[in-house]
Structure 1
Amino acid sequence: MPTMISMAARAILLCALTGISNAAYVLEEDFENTAAFFDHFEFFTEPDPTHGFVEYIDQAAAEAAGLVKVNDNSIYMGVDSTTVVTEGGRQSVRLTSKNIYNHGLVIIDLTHMPGNVCGLWPAFWMVGPDWAAGGEVDIIEGVSLLDYNAVALHTTTGCTINDEGFTGEVQTTDCYISAPGQDNNVGCGIKIPNPQSYGDGFNDAGGGVYATEWTATGFKTWFFGHDVVPADIAAGNPDPSSWPTPDAAFAGDCNFERHFWDMQIVFDTTFCGDWAGNEDVWADSGNCATLAPTCQEYVGNNPAEFEKAYWEIVSLKVYQDSNTTHPAMKGSYPFSSRSRVIRHALP
C-alpha cells in the first residue's frame, strides 16, 4: 500500500510539472435564454473606446427599439437598421458581464452572428481591468467582408506564444499591444481559416458552438459546427481533453497568471472605428471602398445593410474546474477609458 500511494503521488506531481490538464468542469453560470439573460450584464452607454461610429444605448432603449429581445428560445441582440445617421453613430448595444472570472471554460452556442457587411465590427471577447494589464482575449471577431474568425490576445509586454498545438494559422506571436515589428495593438493572433467560423459562412451553415478554455498555462479555442458538437458538451459535462486539436492555442513564453486576471465577458457590435474604419483597412476590404469613400459615410447612409447584423444566442455557459480556487466574483471594473488603436491588419 505505501508503494501504491507513493506512485500515485508521483503521478500527481508529474501531471503538475508537465501541465497535463485533468480538469473536471462543473457548471458555474448559465446565462439562460430568457429575459433573465440580460440580468447577467450591464449595458455600456459611454462613447466607444475603439472610436466607432456607434451610439451604445441602455437596456430600456434597446428593448423599446427592438435591439434586444427573447426570440423563439434564443437571445437576439441587433443594431438599428432603419435610420439614416449623419452624426453620433448607429445605435447598437454593448454588454459587459457583471461577474468576473479567473480561469474556466466558456461555451457559447449561436445560430447567428453579425454577417459580412462593410463597416461592421462585431466581437465576443473577455477583458480584464486596467487594460491591457488584465489582458484581453478575442474569441469571435472580424470586420467588414473578412471571411474567417480572428482569435487574438492583447497584453502588456512580456508575453509571446508558440506556433504549435493548434490547426489555425499564426498571424503574430507577440501579445504585447506595442510589440516592435507589429502594427499597434495587433497582439498575438491566430486565423481560423474555416469559412464557417465567422460571418456569412457561419450563418449559412446554421451556426455552431465556440468553446474557450482558460487555464494557468494559456488559452485554447474550438469551433464546432452543430453537426459535430461533442456529445459531452450537449450533455453538460464538457471534457476538452477528449476534443480534437484546438483551432487556436495560446501558450509559450508568458506568465498567463500575471497577464490575464479578473476578466469579464463582453458582446459588442460597433461600426468603423480603429479597425474597420482605418483608411488602409477600408481600402483593402473587398469592394467596400467602391461603395463609399469612407466607412462612416457608408454605415450612416445604408441602414438596411445592417438587418443581418445581429447575434442569436441559444446558450452561454461558464464552467469552472472543480479543482480550481478561482471562482467567479460579483462586481465589475470600469474600462471605458480603454482605447484600442488599429486592432489588426487585414491580409
Structure 2
Amino acid sequence: MRISQLLLPLSASVACVVGITNSSYTIADNYNSTNFFNEFNFFTGQDPTGGFVDYQGEAPANQSGLAGYSNGAIYLGVDHKTVNPAGGRNSVRVTSNKAYTKGLFIADIAHMPAGICGTWPAFWMFGPNWPNSGEIDIIEGVNMQASNSITLHTSEGCSLDGTGSVASSVLASTDCTGNNGCSFKTADPLNFGTGFNAAGGGVYAMDWTSSAIAVYFFPRTSIPADITAGTPNPSGWGMPLARFSGSGCDIDSHFMNQNIVFDTTFCGQWAGQVWSNSTCAALAPTCNAYVGQNPSAFAGAYWLVNYVKVFQNSGMAKRHLGYIRPKLTPYM
C-alpha cells in the first residue's frame, strides 16, 4: 500500500468555521484527505491503558508508513515488520485539535484494525480531567471480537438506560461511572472486525444531545441517502445501535469539551487481561509475547477513514462549536 507524503504545520493556527446549513443541521467540520493531519495531533505519551505499544510522533509515523493518505482516504497503521520491539509495537494515536460539546458526528470508515489477536482499536471521544468531562466510545473491541462494544464513562452520579436501542443490543450495565462504564454489547457481525472489513466497512454516526447519546451504524450498502447527500437527519434512520438516556443522569453536566480520537493499542488492560480466556491463548502464553513475536499478523491492523464530519443543530451551532487547541512552534 502506497502512503503519500503528509506535512503537518508547526505554527500556531486558528480555524474559522463557516457553517453550511443542511436540513436541521449545520456542518461545522469535515475532516478528510485534504486536511486531516492538519487538524489532528499525534499523541506520543505512555499508553494510559498499559498497552504493549509505542505511539509515534508525526514525523516518524509518516516516514515509516504508519500514517498518511491511501487511495483518497486517511491511513493509520501499525508496525508489522519488527520482531520483539523493546518498547512495544509502533502505532499511532491521533486526537482532534478541536473539542466539542454535543453534535452529530459521522465517520465513513472503509477498514478498521480489528479481528486480530492482541489488537485493541478504538474510535472515541473524551474530555479533560477524565472522567469528569466524560468519554464516548463509539467503536471499540479487542482480539477476535466479532461485534462492536459501545461504552460511556463518567464521574459519579450518571446512570443511563438503553430505551430506544435495537433489540439485538444489550446494555450490560446502567452505571456509567469510572473504568467499567455503561456498555452496550452489539450482535451485528458487520459492525466490527472481520465482518466489517469484508463488507467494505460503513458509516458510524453518533448523535449527542442533552437528552440522549445515540450511536448508529450503516453497512456500506445501506448508508442513508441523506448522509450521502450531506443533509443528515437522524429522525429518519430508525432505531440506533445503542441509545443512552434516562432521568438518572444529567448529560450536559457529565459530557463536555470532548476531542475525537483514533488509536490502535495492543494487549493492556483489556486485550491483555482477557487473553487467557480467549481463543487467542492457544497462540502464545501471553498477549505481549504474541504481539512481539508475530509482526506479520498485524499487516491488516490499520484504519482507513474516508471522512469524519461534525454537524451541529442549526439553532445551537454557535453555542457548541467548541474550541481549538493551538499547535505550538518549537523554540529551537
Deviations 1:106-156 (A, max 9, x none): 000011001211110000000011000010000000000110100000001
Aligned to 1:219, what secondary structure does the other structure show? strand
Cα pair distance change 1:65/1:162, threshold 3 Å:
same
Aligned to 1:39, what secondary structure does the other structure show? helix
Deviations 1:46-76 (A, max 9, x none): 1111110000011110000001111111111
Amino acid at match of 1:32: N
Instruction: Indicate the residue corresponding to 1:292 in structure 2.
Output: 284
TM-score by length of 1: 0.85
Aligned to 2:323, what secondary structure does the other structure show? coil
Amino acid at match of 1:127: F
Aligned to 2:214, what secondary structure does the other structure show? strand
- Mapped to 1, the partners of 2:239 and 2:98 lie a distance apart of 29
Amino acid at match of 2:164: G
Q: Is there any run of 5+ residues in structure 1 with no aligned partner, and where?
A: 1-22, 178-184, 334-347
- Mapped to 2, the partners of 1:261 and 1:218 lie a distance apart of 13
Deviations 1:262-298 (A, max 9, x none): 00000110000111111xx111222x11111110000
Q: Is there any run of 5+ residues in structure 2 with no aligned partner, and where?
A: 1-22, 328-332
Amino acid at match of 1:269: T
Alpha-carbon shift at residue 332 of structure 1 (Å):
7.2
Aligned to 1:274, what secondary structure does the other structure show? helix
Instruction: Indicate the residue corresponding to 2:225 in structure 1.
Output: 231
Instruction: Indicate the residue corresponding to 1:47 in structure 2.
Output: 46
Instruction: Indicate the residue corresponding to 2:190 in structure 1.
Output: 196
Give the percent of matched residue pairs that are identical in Structure 1 and Structure 2: 48
Confirm or deny that 1:318 pairs with 2:310: yes
Q: Indicate if the aligned counterparts of 1:291 and 1:298 stay in contact, CA closer than 8 A.
A: yes
What are the equivalent positions in structure 2 for 1:245-260 lying under 5 Å apart? 245-252=239-246, 253-260=248-255
Instruction: Indicate the residue corresponding to 2:124 in structure 1.
Output: 125
- Mapped to 2, the partners of 1:74 and 1:187 lie a distance apart of 32
Confirm or deny that 1:106 pairs with 2:105: yes
More helix by share: 1
Cα pair distance change 1:214/1:163, threshold 3 Å:
closer
Amino acid at match of 1:110: I
Amino acid at match of 1:196: L
Instruction: Indicate the residue corresponding to 1:146 in structure 2.
Output: 145
Alpha-carbon shift at residue 329 of structure 1 (Å):
1.2
- Mapped to 1, the partners of 2:227 and 2:120 lie a distance apart of 29
Alpha-carbon shift at residue 322 of structure 1 (Å):
1.0
- Mapped to 1, the partners of 2:130 and 2:212 lie a distance apart of 18
Alpha-carbon shift at residue 323 of structure 1 (Å):
1.1
Instruction: Indicate the residue corresponding to 2:14 in structure 1.
Output: none
Provide the aligned length of Structure 1 versus Structure 2: 300
- Mapped to 1, the partners of 2:242 and 2:125 lie a distance apart of 16
- Mapped to 2, the partners of 1:230 and 1:37 lie a distance apart of 24
Select the residue among 291, 302, 314 that pairs with 2:294: 302
Amino acid at match of 2:237: W
RMSD: 1.3
- Mapped to 1, the partners of 2:83 and 2:161 lie a distance apart of 46
- Mapped to 1, the partners of 2:266 and 2:309 lie a distance apart of 27
- Mapped to 1, the partners of 2:101 and 2:172 lie a distance apart of 26
Aligned to 2:59, what secondary structure does the other structure show? helix
Structure 1 consecutive aligned stretches of length 4 or more whose deviation exceeds 2 Å:
none
Q: Indicate if the aligned counterparts of 2:162 and 2:242 stay in contact, CA closer than 8 A.
A: no
